[in-house]
Structure 1
Amino acid sequence: MPISLSSTPMFSRIISQSSSRAFSTSSALLNRCIVYTQNGDPAQVLSAITYPKLPSPPPNTVNLKFLLSPINPADINTIEGVYPSRPKPTSNIATSGLGSQDQPVFVGGNEGLAQVVDVGEGVQGLENGDWVVMDQPQLGTWSTSRNVPFHGVIKLPASGLTEAHGATMTVNPTTAYNMLDGFVKLQEGDWVVQNGANSAVGQLVIQIAKERGLNTINFVRSRDDMGPLVTHLESLGATKVLTYDDLNDRSLRSKIKEWTGGQDIRLALNCVGGDPTTAMAKLLGQDSHLVSYGAMSKKPLSLPTSLHIFKNLTSHGFWQTNWSRTHSRTEKEELITKLAEMMKEGKLKAPEHTIITIGPQVSDEEATEKVRSIFAEMAEGKFRKKVLLKLEEPAACA
């Protein structure tokens, strides 16, 4: 990994000098991105840098203007250095200083919505004005503009989507859809059980299941005022909403048997781990499947051997990035199109979100401070909604 410069006086001088030059040599709009030079706490290692306007795109590439980009939990893990998918160092956005050959950086952001603003020779199926989402991981979406290979993006339908829909298209909705579709051949009327039901993926599971005519039993953490959360999840299509405390109720199995009419539950989705998942797995029937896509409790998964021996339970892990690596571009385009249609028809809601904008008159130093404060507040749990980042091109002074 490159040596960290983010906390040194030299780093501050480079940023200041770079910003000063950028804001005094041209009246054109510039570009900005959020970067880091080594892994660590995002509230300490992230910085904003300004770089020149993109040149015309080389053959088989497109220039993109990013409209909105989420900050996902996986992004934080990536910056910390504990996530399997990692970005490649970038060294071509500056001729000197950060982002140059001498001082490469990692540009943050894995998911985002962008608009095509220029196409290179040989590009097929894309033209200026098209909305696109990322088809490759870690392309650096926390940017105002980037140049990427045209096969690294997927075109969205021409109209009917909000920016929030587009920006959050490729991680959570695809995860929810593929877990419901890829492990058990579910029929209308079947039942699915999940924990973390109020997470972004959990809420999408509820909505997609409703659209398919599936019933869901949804577990969440207990809280003082459960009413609003239960009402919200039921409005999305949840059949039943329970708490992890309910898993300790000995009468729960008989209640579930009554709800399901004695039908076996053959699919469970887990993003928590630990004891709640062990108890949830015991609700499954014969030849069932437990799919784990997260471990929010940071506790290991422990399953009774009897479930494997007597009920033929199969336990899987799911990672959307791996699904994308092992499926064709046509399959990915079909999935994105299907999800986009559901969003346009109002069957999938955009996640509750907060948009944080870094405007054109903000200096790199001010932008750095703002970005770091966002991550500090996220670590303290101050954001209850998904955070979407909107970077606007910094305006250069004449």
Structure 2
Amino acid sequence: MLFPIIRTFQKRWYSSSSDIIAKAMVYSQYGKPSEVLSIHTHPLPALTPSTLHLRFLASPINPADINQIEGVYPLKPPFSTEHIQSNVPVAIGGNEGVAMVVAVGDEVSGIKVGDWVVMAESGFGACTLCFSVVEIEAFTTASKTSYFPFHPGTWRTHAVATLADVQVIPNEGLDFLQAATIAINPSTAYRMLKDFVNLQEGDFVIQNGANSSVGQYVIQIANAWGIKTINIVRKRQVNSLPRVLALSTGPLQYHLTAIGATHVITDEELGSLVNKKKVKEWTGGKPIMLGLNCVGGKGATEMAKYLSNDAYYVTYGAMSRQPLTLPASLLIFKNIYFSGFWMSHWGKTHSRDARAEMLYDIATMMRNGRIRGARLERVEWDTRVDDAEAFRSLKTAIDKGISSFGNGKQVLVMI
């Protein structure tokens, strides 16, 4: 059915179908990704006055993406036939990526063809950390909002979206592989450094999980702002890591120092009196007002003891899956504030302008070489070949995403 959109000196006709043939990596049940995923080809829904057409440039394979497909991640996308003309309800893989606007409806303003966008909604373009189903359901109930936008999933060639689903990012001088990973990890690091303590040049921050993606962005952004970091990593054994990663604390310490870390220590050193004295010498007695925790467990408790009176201790993950146990003295006598941070929650409670300002700052630091993205391995999704043949080549990247072996984070590049 056709219907006209009438404007002065202009008429555009919209239909129920599009000439664009889209592809998406989908699954109809939870399980091992290489077994349940397949490529689904479908016509892209037609442009309407209030929608956009997007062409995805790149989408990373994150651990959370794999966990979602396996059915073990707290936040799960809905299975649906909507928008992709599937015979059975399916979900589309992926939570992060960058797309280019290829068409704009007549009633949409503030965005144009050629703009690069990341996804603004949590299920579509921003993944969450390891929080429980109860915590996520509680937040969803309290906020009375869904975590799923127009249609979730970023492992696809094209999508239809509304303006509310996307956020324009500045792309001048920015590599699209960097842009594909800008919305989650660097944004998390940026907000935690900016939102809890009014840090000044020369101030100190202490963090665990310093070799994680977020941890490395914390190091680089802090260094760009003149903030010093004390970085905690696990004591590493030679046989515990793939060869592409650090084989001991030494090489890892060298890498973190090279990207801007001020000091690096191991979790085993945290509880020693010698190390506590050493940290005091490093800081010159200056207070440590911000601690960042993504690990949990005993080491996270020890890290809290390094904080000064009235400091903030921010938890944004729990990689050890161990609880954070706190001595009452830290609350009573040191008046330390313990808080959580979730990028998805921040996005729900802040304006598009605030997010645009943040992404502009991060993109500028990337362009200027002040921060480097995570090590990425480009994986080409050749949409010109048969779907079964294309999936065979993509399966290797998915398996690497599961095992974490390879030359860095796998990023799907649609060609």
TM-score class normalised by the smaller sequence? 0.7 to 0.9
Specify which structure has the bigger relative contact order, considering alpha-carbon pairs within 8 angstroms and separated by 6 or more residues: 1
Return the alpha-carbon distance in structure 1 between the equivalents of residues 202 and 195 of structure 2.
18
How far did residue 47 of structure 1 move? 2.0
Confirm or deny: 8 A CA contact 2:61 2:401 kept in the other structure. no
* Residue 186 (structure 2) aligns with: 173
* Residue 22 (structure 1) aligns with: none
Return the alpha-carbon distance in structure 1 between the equivalents of residues 396 and 368 of structure 2.
37
How far did residue 93 of structure 1 move? 4.2
How far did residue 107 of structure 1 move? 0.9
How far did residue 82 of structure 1 move? 4.2
Confirm or deny: 8 A CA contact 1:56 1:120 kept in the other structure. no
Please, what is the CA RMSD of the aligned residues? 2.0
Confirm or deny: 8 A CA contact 1:43 1:371 kept in the other structure. no
Confirm or deny: 8 A CA contact 1:197 1:220 kept in the other structure. yes
Q: Deviations over 1:277-297 (max 9, x none)?
A: 111111111112211111111
Confirm or deny: 8 A CA contact 1:34 1:107 kept in the other structure. yes
118, 125, 144: which one pairs with 2:157?
A: 144
Confirm or deny: 8 A CA contact 2:311 2:337 kept in the other structure. yes
Percent of residue pairs identical: 46
How far did residue 124 of structure 1 move? 0.8
Tell me if 1:44 matches 2:35.
Answer: yes
Q: What runs of 5+ residues in structure 1 fail to find an aligned partner? A: 1-27, 393-398
Secondary structure in structure 1 of the residue aligned to 2:159 = strand
How far did residue 325 of structure 1 move? 0.5
Return the alpha-carbon distance in structure 1 between the equivalents of residues 296 and 183 of structure 2.
24
Secondary structure in structure 2 of the residue aligned to 1:298 = coil
Secondary structure in structure 2 of the residue aligned to 1:311 = coil
* Residue 30 (structure 1) aligns with: 21
Confirm or deny: 8 A CA contact 1:46 1:372 kept in the other structure. no
Q: Deviations over 1:39-77 (max 9, x none)?
A: 33334322221223x254112111111001112222223
Confirm or deny: 8 A CA contact 2:45 2:83 kept in the other structure. no
Confirm or deny: 8 A CA contact 1:46 1:371 kept in the other structure. no
* Residue 209 (structure 2) aligns with: 196
Q: Deviations over 1:337-367 (max 9, x none)?
A: 1211221221121211111112134433334
Tell me if 1:120 matches 2:120.
Answer: no
Q: Deviations over 1:80-139 (max 9, x none)?
A: 3344443233423454xxx24xx1211111111111111112111222111111111223
How far did residue 248 of structure 1 move? 3.8
Confirm or deny: 8 A CA contact 1:134 1:153 kept in the other structure. yes
What pairs up with 1:217-232 in 2 under 5 angstroms? 217-223=230-236, 224=238, 225-232=248-255
Confirm or deny: 8 A CA contact 1:117 1:128 kept in the other structure. yes
Confirm or deny: 8 A CA contact 1:59 1:120 kept in the other structure. yes
**2:113 maps to amino acid:** N
- TM-score (ref. length: structure 2): 0.81
Confirm or deny: 8 A CA contact 2:66 2:401 kept in the other structure. no
Secondary structure in structure 2 of the residue aligned to 1:111 = coil
Shift in alpha-carbon separation, 1:228–1:69, aligned structure 2, 3 A: same
Confirm or deny: 8 A CA contact 2:63 2:401 kept in the other structure. no
* Residue 382 (structure 2) aligns with: 359
70, 84, 98: which one pairs with 1:80?
A: 70
* Residue 322 (structure 1) aligns with: 345
Shift in alpha-carbon separation, 1:75–1:94, aligned structure 2, 3 A: closer
Return the alpha-carbon distance in structure 2 between the equivalents of residues 294 and 365 of structure 1.
37
Secondary structure in structure 2 of the residue aligned to 1:266 = strand
Q: Deviations over 1:245-303 (max 9, x none)?
A: 22243211110011101112121111111121111111111112211111111212122
Return the alpha-carbon distance in structure 2 between the equivalents of residues 175 and 328 of structure 1.
16
Return the alpha-carbon distance in structure 2 between the equivalents of residues 284 and 350 of structure 1.
29
Q: Deviations over 1:159-212 (max 9, x none)?
A: 110012210111011100111111112121111011111111011101111111
Q: What runs of 5+ residues in structure 2 fail to find an aligned partner? A: 1-18, 125-151, 239-247
Q: Which moved more, 1:42-51 or 1:276-285?
A: 42-51
Secondary structure in structure 2 of the residue aligned to 1:251 = helix
How far did residue 310 of structure 1 move? 1.5
Tell me if 1:341 matches 2:334.
Answer: no
Aligned residues: 359
* Residue 303 (structure 1) aligns with: 326
Confirm or deny: 8 A CA contact 1:70 1:168 kept in the other structure. yes
**2:229 maps to amino acid:** T
How far did residue 369 of structure 1 move? 4.2
Confirm or deny: 8 A CA contact 1:343 1:349 kept in the other structure. yes
